[in-house]
């Protein structure tokens, strides 16, 4: 499905309150960068944030699930 231009702008606007944000297309989806460091990804118009262990636990407590993908013929990767 990919990422729509409207979704990119919807995400870029509030994130830019924290500083310049760059969104780069990646295989039909998009990486979100600040100061050249990717901190999030948009997949099928869904935002996934990179998280350390503490953040991952906080997100899970709110019912948020991590991004995973399944390489062809292999086990899912988180």
Instruction: Check pLDDT > 60 for residue 54.
Output: yes
Between 10 and 27, the more confident residue is 10
Distance CA 55, CA 24 (A): 24
Distance from the Cα of residue 7 to its chain's centroid: 12
Q: pLDDT class for 60, splitting at 50, 70, 90?
A: very high
Q: pLDDT class for 27, splitting at 50, 70, 90?
A: confident
Angle made by CA atoms 34, 40, 44, in degrees to the nearest 5: 135
Distance CA 54, CA 26 (A): 27
Q: pLDDT class for 10, splitting at 50, 70, 90?
A: very high
What is the reported pLDDT for 61? Answer: 96
Domain range summary for the chain, segments of one domain joined by +: 5-52
Task: State residue 65 phi and psi, 5-degree precision.
Answer: -105, 150
What is the reported pLDDT for 67? Answer: 79
């Amino acid at each position: 499905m990919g990422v729509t231009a409207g979704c990119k702008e919807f995400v870029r606007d509030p994130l830019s309150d924290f500083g310049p944000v760059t969104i780069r297309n990646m295989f039909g989806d998009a990486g979100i960068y600040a100061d050249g460091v990717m901190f999030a990804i948009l997949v099928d118009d869904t935002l996934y944030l990179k998280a350390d262990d503490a953040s991952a636990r906080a997100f899970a407590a709110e019912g948020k699930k991590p991004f995973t993908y399944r390489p062809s013929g292999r086990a899912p990767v988180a």
